[in-house]
Each structure stands twice: as C-alpha cells, then as structure tokens.
Amino acid sequence: MQREAQICSDVVSSVGQMVRAKDQPVDLPGKGPIVAGSRGRLLLLVIPAICLAFIISLALLAKKNHTASSALAAQPQKSIAVLPFLDLTEGMDEEEFADNMTEEVIDKLSKIPGLQVPPPTSSFYFKGKQIPVVDIARTLRVVYGLDGSVRTSGDRLRVAARLIRAENGYVI
C-alpha cells in the first residue's frame, strides 16, 4: 500500500506543477511539455481521487474471499482496463482532455506493483464502440473495468468515473 500511496503522491505532484504553471508549458517526464490552464486544477483533484478510490476498492475486495467464476479463473485478480473517458460536453470540444486523462490514469495505475493494466492502445481500440464494459473487460482479460466521462456544468468541467467488476457487471 505504501507504493500505491507514493504513486498517488507523484500524480498530485505532477498535476500540481501543471496547476502552478497556469498557462505556461510544464515539461513532465515521459510526456513532454503540457499546458494546463484551468483544467489543471480539476486534474489535481480527479486523477488522485480515481487512483485512491481504486486502491481502496482493491483493498476491500482483497479482504473478501470471493470464488472466481470459471470465466475469470485464468485472469489475474489484480487487473483493470481503463476505458477512454467520454466527452459529454455540449460542443464535444473536450475530447483531447478526456483522452489525456485516460492515458494519465493508465500510466499511474500501471506503476502499481502487481496490478496488470492493458496499454492505452488496447483500451482505445474500444473508443466509440457500443460494447458493454463487462464484455470489454472480458475481452481484455481483466477483472475490473474503469470508465468515465467529462462534461460541463455551467463554467465547470465535471469528471465522473465508475469501477465495474467484470464478473457480474456491478459498479463498485
């Protein structure tokens, strides 16, 4: 759990650099220069919250003794597919932001030891397709699927995320 907490701390630090820089480019390792603007403040809250929620969910589920169904028996119990976040803004003009958020969450979760996360290319294959998250998770051979959306509410940008168990399709 200490490693997971360190990764969440790194996420906050990276996004914090973007927030402090306002509209100035910030050179993030492995990502190159990024301009944050007002979205950086949203990222400062959203990405760590998603990481933390996932870590807490895993910890709670690890304590329960679930028997895996035969369909999930070959899948690692600590695996998640992060699906592309949907752009639900009125003008559909936040797609790049939603895609970048998806990639950032994949990057941070993939650094958690023992957690298997399919690469962005696998997740983005399903972008725009009307396939249930449960079916996508089974196709990618993961136990959990994480999907979400980006939308505007007045002058605010809102981000929602759902963690779904592939075995039964329920939101955790």
Q: Is 79 part of any domain?
A: yes
Q: Is 59 part of any domain?
A: yes
Average pLDDT value over all residues in the chain: 74
Q: Is 172 part of any domain?
A: no
Distance in angstroms (rounded) separating the CA atoms of residues 150 and 22 = 20
Average pLDDT estimate for 9-30: 50
Token duo for residue 170: 């329920």
Q: Where are the beta strands (DSSP E) in 40-169?
A: 80-82, 86-87, 144-153, 156-165
Q: Is 62 part of any domain?
A: yes
Q: Is 171 part of any domain?
A: no
Domain containing 136 equals 2-165
Tally of structural domains, the chain: 1
Shortest CA distance to 103 belongs to which of 14, 5, 1? 14
The confidence score (pLDDT) of residue 24 equals: 53
Please check the confidence at residue 121 and state whether its pLDDT lies above 80.
yes
Q: Is 22 part of any domain?
A: yes
Which comes out higher in pLDDT, residue 159 or 28? 159
Is the pTM higher than 0.95? no
The confidence score (pLDDT) of residue 159 equals: 87
